[in-house]
A and B are shown apart, each in its own frame.
Chain A
Amino acid sequence: MTNGVPISWYLVLSAVLFTLGVAGFVFRRSIITVFMSIELMLNAVNLTFITFSYQLKQVNGNLFAFFVMVVAAAEAAVGLAIILTVFKNRNTLNIDDVSSMKD
């Protein structure tokens, strides 16, 4: 295993992807892109799960990632439906325009 990949690299990669997801959420204006950023974050988490699964030699991490996928899929369905209704009502996908309630 001398020339294997250090496990921390995977974890750091995951952290980077997670942060990029957060960045997308914070900086993007298109609602859909924002939503995709969330998917990115979930993917990053999945990578962590699977990395740990490898390290712990357990199948559980894989399962968790699988559950996350299902959740992500369900979220996608509902989320996109919500985005559709917003678009129908406001005719915009700019997230900054959806801010009528404040104070």
Chain B
Amino acid sequence: MQLWLIPILPFAGFLINGIFGRRFSKSMVNVFAIGSVVLAFAWVLKTILGLGDLNTPYTEHYFTWIQSGTFNVGADFTVDRLTAIMLMVVTGIGSLIHIYSIGYMAHEHGPNYGGYYRFFAYLNLFMFFMLTLVLASNYLLLFVGWEGVGLCSYLLVGFYFDKQFATNAGNKAFIVNRVGDFGFSLAMFYIVKQFGSLDFGTVFHQAAGASQSTLTLIGFLLLVGACGKSAQIPLYTWLPDAMAGPTPVSALIHAATMVTAGVYMCSRSWPIYVHAPDAMNWIAIIGVATAFFAATIGMAQNDIKKVFAYSTISQLGYMFLGVGCGAFSAGVFHLMTHAFFKALLFLGAGSVIHALSGEQDMRNMGGLRTKIPWTFATMMCAAVAIAGVPPFSGFFSKDAILVAANHHAPWMFWLGVITAGMTAFYVFRAMFMTFFGAYRGHHHPHESPAIMTVPLVILALLSLGGGFIAVPTFLGSFFPTVEAPEDFVLVAISVAAGLLGILMAYVMYVAKPGMADSVAGSLGDLYKFVYNKWYVDELYDATIVQPLVKGSRTVLWKGADVGLIDGLVNGTGWAAKQVGGLLRLLQSGNIRSYATWVLFGGVLVIVAMSVAGGIR
């Protein structure tokens, strides 16, 4: 089926735009960039349709990538049901966002010839790596995509590379991800050590017979990797900063696709996890903790993209919760619906920002619903979806996760419910601050062009109706099923929490506009603590970054390297010269001294020879 075409098409787009894009007109760039992605989407459709029910995975082998002894890693692609969903999401949403970007980037002025071609080249490269990631049929190839998307994230976050904050954010994204990759790599090493291969088929086949401790270790290490990529505690800090990139990037990479790779990978590794309950439990704990924690921060942010960034972290936590509770299909389902509504939220936010010529602070917005109605309407769809209002997409997926959580551990359910309330609150808080009340800014808002709004509308439809896509059923045979009875009470509680959140937001930001500040004021330090994101960045900086940098500079470099080791080396030279200096004292130039030395030597020699001859 020529699976290789799927990633190669965007890659071709990348090469063409990357090498010649500077000389191209914008429309020429568009042709290659959007064309390649849309073609890839089309090829995905054709492939999936052509492969039938996909009950058995379909694999293509291209060439041996690495071979050493009997170990080998092939460049192999596989399509199964999970992959199919991911392919659809990635290419579908990817296409939409590419199209949207034409409008969004039209007036952007990045460094280097406006950076237009560069943006699309990077975006295409991202598609290439993302598709490689989902198509990979072994861990190492998955890792290729995994690192590759990280690279694109780095490049796109640092798109405005003349701005220090952007490049800082890019570095942070890459390096924090590297910490996660560290875990991922170790997991791979252990897999090979235990199973002798990295092929999903082989590994999973053997995992069934492996010891639980082995699988727990592997599962845990994979989780570290997933935490990095999917911005979970403790490695989430890069994602909020990553909003420094252009907004479509936030939508595509930092909401819809790349950050969900961790979820994808954990789901993919279910044969390992199902035999490693401890690891599963940790996934759930991290997931729910992240969901709650990020939601608290999200409630206090004023930058519209930051709100959605924390929201993303929080929603990813949900997905982890689902996976950790054994509801893999629910996790993946939420992954998909989240891709719809979060992409929409970001794109909508982009549209707002675009409308306000770059303004991102919600305190300088307000009353925009009349000025940019399309944006408002579509974003509202996403808001209700994420708030879990039935029967929109978020409701179904979130509900499935919470039910599974309840089955797994009730406290996780309750925390999840609270988080759901907070989610509804901060999303609608953002909606109200942006679109309701009076306009507080100085720009002249204008609605975005159709090239931007059309993708918004499509995503809005998906957000609203996405819940009816039968993902859980489709994946039902792929994942092991969890016996979690549908309980109407639980559903009602979670829906109620969401509605309560919406209501509170309405009260505080529409009905009684002054109330927000007074609540914040009454919370005092707690509010400040949350507003400052629990000071986690500062904590990391003080406990890890600074000690490492300063320690390296003063202790290792100046101390050990220059001081001790080189000191010893140069000291040897110095000492040699000192010895030389002492020896020069022998050379007084005085003949009588010389004669004495000769005499001295002579006596020594005679003594030595008498000793040697055995003086009697």
- B-binding residues in A (CB < 8 A): 22, 25-27, 29, 34, 95-96, 98-103
Residue pairs across A and B with Cβ atoms less than 8 A apart, 24 shown, are A22-B599, A25-B592, A25-B595, A26-B599, A27-B592, A29-B592, A34-B591, A34-B592, A95-B590, A95-B591, A95-B592, A96-B590, A96-B592, A98-B591, A99-B588, A99-B589, A99-B590, A99-B591, A100-B589, A102-B587, A102-B588, A102-B589, A103-B584, A103-B589
Considering the complex, give the chain B residue whose CB is closest to the CB of A37.
B595
Considering the complex, give the chain A residue whose CB is closest to the CB of B596.
A26
Residues from chain A with a CB closer than 8 A to the CB of B596 are 26
Render B575-597 as a binary contact track against A, CB cut-off 8 A, 1 for contact.
Answer: 00000000010011111100110
Residues from chain A with a CB closer than 8 A to the CB of B595 are 22, 25-26
Closest CB pairs A-B (n = 4): A102-B589, A99-B589, A99-B590, A103-B584
Q: For residues 256 through 290 of chain B, which have their beta carbon under 8 Å from a beta carbon of chain A?
A: none
Considering the complex, give the chain A residue whose CB is closest to the CB of B585.
A103
* Distance of B582 from chain A, by nearest CB (Å): 12
Considering the complex, give the chain B residue whose CB is closest to the CB of A99.
B589
Residues from chain B with a CB closer than 8 A to the CB of A26 are 592, 595-596, 599
Docked complex Cα distance between A101 and B590 (Å): 9
Residues from chain A with a CB closer than 8 A to the CB of B589 are 99-103
* Distance of B596 from chain A, by nearest CB (Å): 6
* Distance of A15 from chain B, by nearest CB (Å): 12
Most-contacted residue by chain B among A100, A101, A103 (CB, 10 A): A103
Docked complex Cα distance between A22 and B597 (Å): 12
Do residues B587 and A103 form an inter-chain contact, with CB atoms below 8 A?
Answer: yes
Docked complex Cα distance between A34 and B588 (Å): 18
Residues from chain A with a CB closer than 8 A to the CB of B588 are 99, 102
Residues from chain B with a CB closer than 8 A to the CB of A102 are 587-590
Docked complex Cα distance between A102 and B587 (Å): 5
* Distance of B483 from chain A, by nearest CB (Å): 95
How many chain B residues sit at the interface, stated as a range, is 10 to 19
* Distance of A9 from chain B, by nearest CB (Å): 21
Interface on chain B toward A: helix, strand, loop, or mixed SS? helix
Docked complex Cα distance between A22 and B596 (Å): 9
Docked complex Cα distance between A82 and B599 (Å): 23
Residues from chain B with a CB closer than 8 A to the CB of A25 are 592, 595
Docked complex Cα distance between A103 and B590 (Å): 11
Render B158-173 as a binary contact track against A, CB cut-off 8 A, 1 for contact.
Answer: 0000000000000000
Docked complex Cα distance between A34 and B593 (Å): 13
Render B19-38 as a binary contact track against A, CB cut-off 8 A, 1 for contact.
Answer: 00000000000000000000
Residues from chain B with a CB closer than 8 A to the CB of A98 are 591
Residues from chain B with a CB closer than 8 A to the CB of A29 are 592
Docked complex Cα distance between A100 and B588 (Å): 9
Considering the complex, give the chain B residue whose CB is closest to the CB of A100.
B589
* Distance of A76 from chain B, by nearest CB (Å): 18
* Distance of A102 from chain B, by nearest CB (Å): 3
* Distance of A45 from chain B, by nearest CB (Å): 14
* Distance of B489 from chain A, by nearest CB (Å): 101
Docked complex Cα distance between A26 and B595 (Å): 6
Further 20 A-B residue pairs, CB within 8 A, beyond A101-B589, A103-B584: A22-B595, A25-B595, A26-B592, A26-B595, A26-B596, A26-B599, A29-B592, A34-B592, A95-B590, A95-B592, A98-B591, A99-B588, A99-B590, A99-B591, A100-B589, A102-B587, A102-B589, A102-B590, A103-B587, A103-B589
* Distance of A14 from chain B, by nearest CB (Å): 16
Docked complex Cα distance between A84 and B596 (Å): 25
Q: For residues 459 through 479 of chain B, which have their beta carbon under 8 Å from a beta carbon of chain A?
A: none
Docked complex Cα distance between A26 and B596 (Å): 6
Considering the complex, give the chain B residue whose CB is closest to the CB of A27.
B592
Docked complex Cα distance between A27 and B590 (Å): 12
* Distance of A6 from chain B, by nearest CB (Å): 20
Residues from chain A with a CB closer than 8 A to the CB of B591 are 34, 95, 98-99
Docked complex Cα distance between A92 and B61 (Å): 100
Residues from chain A with a CB closer than 8 A to the CB of B599 are 22, 26
Considering the complex, give the chain B residue whose CB is closest to the CB of A31.
B591
* Distance of B202 from chain A, by nearest CB (Å): 76
Docked complex Cα distance between A25 and B588 (Å): 17
Q: For residues 582 through 616 of chain B, which have their beta carbon under 8 Å from a beta carbon of chain A?
A: 584, 587-592, 595-596, 599
Considering the complex, give the chain B residue whose CB is closest to the CB of A19.
B599
Most-contacted residue by chain A among B584, B587, B591 (CB, 10 A): B591
Docked complex Cα distance between A27 and B599 (Å): 12
Residues from chain A with a CB closer than 8 A to the CB of B590 are 95-96, 99, 102
Q: For residues 73 through 102 of chain B, which have their beta carbon under 8 Å from a beta carbon of chain A?
A: none
Docked complex Cα distance between A101 and B596 (Å): 18
Docked complex Cα distance between A27 and B596 (Å): 9
* Distance of A95 from chain B, by nearest CB (Å): 5
Docked complex Cα distance between A102 and B584 (Å): 8
Residues from chain B with a CB closer than 8 A to the CB of A100 are 589
Considering the complex, give the chain B residue whose CB is closest to the CB of A22.
B599
* Distance of B590 from chain A, by nearest CB (Å): 5
* Distance of A39 from chain B, by nearest CB (Å): 15
* Distance of B576 from chain A, by nearest CB (Å): 16
* Distance of B475 from chain A, by nearest CB (Å): 89
* Distance of A99 from chain B, by nearest CB (Å): 3
Residues from chain B with a CB closer than 8 A to the CB of A103 are 584, 587, 589
Residues from chain B with a CB closer than 8 A to the CB of A27 are 592
Residues from chain A with a CB closer than 8 A to the CB of B592 are 25-27, 29, 34, 95-96
Docked complex Cα distance between A26 and B599 (Å): 9
Residues from chain A with a CB closer than 8 A to the CB of B584 are 103
* Distance of A56 from chain B, by nearest CB (Å): 22
Most-contacted residue by chain B among A29, A95, A99 (CB, 10 A): A99
Docked complex Cα distance between A26 and B591 (Å): 9
Considering the complex, give the chain A residue whose CB is closest to the CB of B583.
A103
Considering the complex, give the chain A residue whose CB is closest to the CB of B584.
A103
Considering the complex, give the chain B residue whose CB is closest to the CB of A98.
B591
* Distance of A35 from chain B, by nearest CB (Å): 11
